[in-house]
Amino acid sequence: MAKLTPHERVMKFFKREPIDVMPFFTGMGMVLQPAIKKLGIKFPQVHRHADKLAWSGIESARMFNLDSVVIPYDMCWESEALGNQISLYEDSADILYPTIPTKNWKEIDDVRITQNDVDHLMDRYPMNIIPEAIKIVKKEAPELALGAWQLGPFTQCGQTIELDKVLKGVFKQKSKVEDILDQFTEMIANNGKALIAAGADFITLREPGVAADLLSPKTFREVIKPRLTRILKAWNAPKVLHICGSTDPLIEMMWEIVTDSGGQVVSVDIKNNLLESRKKLGNQAIIVGNFDVFKLPCAEETTVEQAIAGIKKNIDGLVDAVWPGCDLWPDIKPDNMKAIEQTARTYKTGPTPAVGRL
């Protein structure tokens, strides 16, 4: 059996072509603390420097045999480019992701997005760092698949004003919220195009703020679904739709978004019932996700044997690739992470429901 490079494996996977082994990769944050320590840098330093962003991803993938590098890692980029001040916690030795302590827009009526914002956000700091990092990864690690991602419009709106205001606004100021979502939709589509043009091999649209435990399926269908379809349709690359939280009531609509937009993959979090999703979508759907990103690779009480059992359960859920339910938490236990990767490759060697084997 011919052994594929990680890049070849992932790209064939997106095309539903037979591959050699189960892919072990992600389309979300994947920076890992052992790799950062090897590079001699601190966690806060990886986020706003193109070289550190690129190399932390490369080293994380190579150290633990992931098939992909995915950048960036934090969710504050667009909000910062729109004028919000962020905190990088540069003096901290702990793993603290950037946050937005104070948002300039306090209420729905305060939101002001110009067409220049929509069309040229990628030209501004810090967004202009991401294409630089992508180019470094393409040059230095051509054997790895390179992923990028964008937040969906509802979640991105919650990065610029408080999410609870957006949730309430859906019902109290629906027309205003929909106008704002349309502006974010166009902006996100443009940003994704720029990341693909810079060299991203695939892209993930992440909309964690719209799970069924936050919005009703009816609101999802009316307000969220058309905009996610529009964004994905604009991107000319393999594409994944990911939603965190409760997605069992949404999974069929999620797959409709993927197929209607020419996408390839639907990705779910730990609250999703994989076997039920497979039953609903059938064997034509490429389904990934669901494994617990903290409990299996990070939790102090989780043994290597328990991590292995967790990944076996994930594969038994009929996923087509071992892919985390959300961002990998950086402070992993190396032995657990290595066991997770080895189990992904060797537990079941036959075809998955949607992807064959060589």
> Could you tell me if residue 125 is inside a domain?
yes
- The answer, as to whether pTM is greater than 0.75, is yes
User: What is the rounded distance in angstroms from the CA atom of residue 193 to the CA atom of residue 233?
Assistant: 11
CA 223 and chain centroid, separation: 21
What CATH number corresponds to the domain at position 231?
Answer: 3.20.20.210
In a domain, 240, yes or no: yes
- Phi/psi of residue 17, each to 5°? -85, 150
- 188 with 149: CB under 8 angstroms? no
- Give domain status of residue 145, yes or no: yes
Would residue 309 count as lying in a domain?
yes
Tell me, what's the pLDDT at 163? 83
Kindly state whether residue 353 falls inside one of the protein's structural domains: no
CB-CB contact of 252 with 278 (8 Å): no
Average pLDDT score, the chain: 96
For residue 354, being part of any structural domain is answered with no
Which amino acid is residue 305, in one-letter code? Answer: E
Q: State which H helix or E strand residue 150 sits in.
A: strand 145-151
- List, run by run, the mean pLDDT of 10-residue segments along the chain (358 residues): 89 98 98 97 95 98 98 97 95 92 92 96 98 98 98 94 87 92 98 98 96 93 97 98 97 98 98 98 98 97 98 98 98 98 97 98
* Predicted local confidence at residue 2, as pLDDT: 63
Has residue 294 been placed in a domain?
A: yes
Beta bridge partners of 286: 265
> What is the reported pLDDT for 171?
87
**Beta strands 286-289; 145-151: pairing state:** unpaired
Those residues whose C-beta lies under 8 Å from the C-beta of residue 6, and which sit 6 or more positions away, are 25, 61, 66, 67, 68, 143, 144, 145
Omega cis (within 30) before 72: yes
126-149 pLDDT, tens digit per residue, is 999 999 999 999 999 999 999 999
How high is the pLDDT of residue 53? 98
pLDDT recorded at residue 167? 86
Number of domains observed in the structure of the chain: 1
Residue 356: inside a domain: no
Contact 340, 44 (CB under 8 A): no
Query: Residue 324: which domain range?
Result: 6-346
